[in-house]
Chains A and B, each alone.
Chain A
């Protein structure tokens, strides 16, 4: 009897105080230990910044390759390693292997895990089937780690390509539990052909994942699982009835106003929301004080806007939700009625910065659509929306009262219509930036952003939805932005004013995640395979090294036995590898035309390697 009373009391406490962060939160504590790299984004604010300064502006030129590790897998290697204590965890593209390497023992392999057995994923789908519904190469962006709060003395979470979330004992690599989130197989409307590429995200006692598949008419969602047993805690769809989206029509806001009843249903024709897309596969953040998690949703499907009139809510939206209940506090839709495939999934960086002279708890987001947004992350107020590549032309500006981009008819693929080729749209569908995450240095107060500098022609046309098959409905051709031949830039951004500080042109799109450090050095990689270190203030190049393959992974740093290491995965591929392998345009050099011909396959070949440097 007594124990029952106790039990009830304990439970009342957890219901009454769902937002309270437990003092023993391992990740909250350890994200501040610069010797480790405990989550893919570096910390919960997604800064990708390290306080280590052993490697610095003065000595980075003397960097040496310390060791490297072949993953044994070809195809595009996105994401990067975690370093927990003296163990380094690294993942691969399909088949989504995970390796635990012992840093005390010359990176010997402690354990290795492969979710694919006999060619079949845990969901029961064959690896071949899964590969055939990956939109843009076999990529995976990495694993997450947790300890305590249901995760025992250490759990590694893997979001496999077949959408199965797998909990592994961090010490042994043994499976603790696994649960299939969606369905890569055929048959079910709005679910079929979904895949997993994004990292799992641990908050308190739960671990969340999104889903990919907007090119296949999947209606995507964010789902949180309880770490202790893999049971589902909550699921919030990107579109559909209010209950499916976990919104409170009177309290959830958009541009500071309540969204009202049926905000999504009213913005789609008929039942199109059932195959509405809105995938979630970027990088996420958590503000423990406000107790809100942040992520962005992707494109509405199909790519043919003419057949889906309306704002297609809440695709292309930044979402702020309570991590315990999932209920949304605020939304901001960046690209209502998408006509160009400008997914809103890129990273959400939380920074306490001065915005137009006033101190703000800000959220900074570099969107595919070419605008960089600074929001008040507590209220969802829009503070700054400026182009971070001057060639962006599909909208003149964002109306700060309504939050709507002012679309230029000439570049509106819906206005131009079906079976009409709309030309000269900047940016291309790749976006001014894709998922490759930017870094923020609280020391320099600068955002370092890897970008694409590519434009496109886009022609929408009619297609039929068939469950499990691609549902695209547009053709596009891409080419370098006018006025130059460089396909990328690495830029420094002032998010308080919305201004580019400086910009380094790169021959190809910069598709690697940046890292900023207290040593006043910023790192990024290029598609030809160069690892580069630059001065955090001026952008001056301080170090260049050509790795085994093109870099689409993200830079990380950690310290082991008193020595600072910097690492990045090389292994070309991803969407960049598809678009740029053979170059973008005809070789017209013989005609005296601008030499825009740049075939990536003349520079680099496939192969995954983890590269590790030290002084």
Chain B
């Protein structure tokens, strides 16, 4: 049972805003939710500077420039501190834990967050020799639970490239550091 994600918010905001010049970073935004109240990401486009993602295939592949919101950026950071040792860089998977960017094909926000809070043991159906730890009592992860989802969702929907630290909008008060 696939859940249909709502992109409208991101799209309308983007549609309304022209691309910003590389040295003219637009203001930050609070952490975003979609129409179903699921955490989501936000980005603004620039005309040059930092690559946010790539569009097209082969010869037609071209970079798209811009900035992601600070909440999603925190998700990137926490992912690479807490999860990448098992799930590989950029939510792209490793020799033993799944590529989370693809897991969102079948995991919605509820299931995703439940897995992080409670983990998954072999007894609960993890592959033999595998285990996903429970992070429920780890404040370093719990404070970014929504942001982790924002980040993985952005990767899932192809709006964030792989590789080094992504460009971000300034933080706003709603996102505590």
Contact = CB atoms under 8 A, between A and B. Distances in A.
Nearest to B60: A590
Nearest to A571: B95
B123 A581 contact: no
Interface in A452-492: 457, 459, 461, 463-464, 466, 469-470, 472-479
Contacts of A135: 85
Interface string B77-98: 1001110111011101111100
A128 B140 contact: no
B15 interface: no
Contact of A577 (B58, B96, B161): B96
A197 to B, nearest CB: 14
If over half of B's interface residues share one DSSP class (helix, strand or loop), that class is named, otherwise mixed; here it is: loop
**Counting chain B CB atoms within 10 Å of each CB, which of A119, A464, A470, A472 scores highest?**
A470
A578 B137 contact: no
Nearest to B120: A128
Interface string A103-132: 000000000000000010000001111011
Given A132-B133, A461-B77, A466-B140, A477 B165 contact: yes
B57 A590 contact: yes
Contacts of A470: 81-82, 85, 138, 140
Contacts of A583: 92
A573 interface: yes
Contacts of B62: 591
B157 to A, nearest CB: 16
Nearest to A138: B129
A71 B122 CA distance: 20
B54 A588 contact: yes
Contacts, number: 140
B99 interface: yes
A76 interface: yes
B140 A469 contact: yes
Contact of A601 (B60, B95, B130): B95
A74 B122 CA distance: 14
Contacts of A343: none
A582 B93 contact: yes
Nearest to A136: B85
Contact of A581 (B58, B80, B93, B119): B93
B27 interface: no
A131 B85 CA distance: 12
Nearest to B57: A590
A600 B94 CA distance: 9
Contacts of A93: 129
A572 B162 CA distance: 23
A137 interface: yes
Interface in B38-66: 54, 56-63
Contacts of B95: 75-76, 137, 572-573, 577-578, 581, 600-601, 606
A462 to B, nearest CB: 9
Interface in B93-150: 93-96, 99, 119, 121-123, 126, 128-135, 137-140
A421 interface: yes
**Which of A119, A132, A133 has the most CB atoms of chain B within a 10 A radius of its CB?**
A132
A579 interface: yes
A615 interface: no
B165 A459 contact: yes
B139 A478 contact: no
A590 B59 contact: yes
B142 to A, nearest CB: 10
A464 B139 contact: yes
A582 B92 contact: yes
A578 B81 contact: no
A215 interface: yes
Interface string A266-279: 00000000000000
Contacts of A475: 76-77, 80-81, 84, 165
A473 B139 CA distance: 13
A478 B139 CA distance: 27
B80 to A, nearest CB: 4
Interface in A136-181: 136-138
B122 A119 contact: yes
A379 interface: no
Nearest to A552: B95
Nearest to A73: B129
A193 B58 CA distance: 46
A93 B88 CA distance: 19
B80 A476 contact: yes
Which of B94, B99, B119, B137 has the most chain A CB atoms inside 10 A of its CB? B94
A561 interface: no
B96 A464 contact: no
Contacts of A585: 162-163
Contact of A582 (B60, B76, B77, B88): B88
A479 B163 CA distance: 8
Contacts of A399: none
A510 interface: no
Contacts of A479: 163-164
Contacts of B132: 132
Contacts of B137: 466, 469
Given A475-B80, A582-B88, A586-B161, 18 more contacts: A93-B129, A119-B123, A128-B119, A128-B123, A215-B85, A419-B177, A421-B165, A466-B140, A470-B81, A470-B85, A472-B82, A475-B81, A475-B84, A578-B95, A579-B88, A583-B92, A601-B93, A601-B95
18 contacts: A74-B128, A129-B131, A419-B177, A421-B165, A464-B140, A469-B137, A469-B140, A470-B81, A470-B140, A479-B164, A578-B85, A578-B88, A581-B93, A581-B94, A584-B89, A586-B163, A590-B58, A591-B62
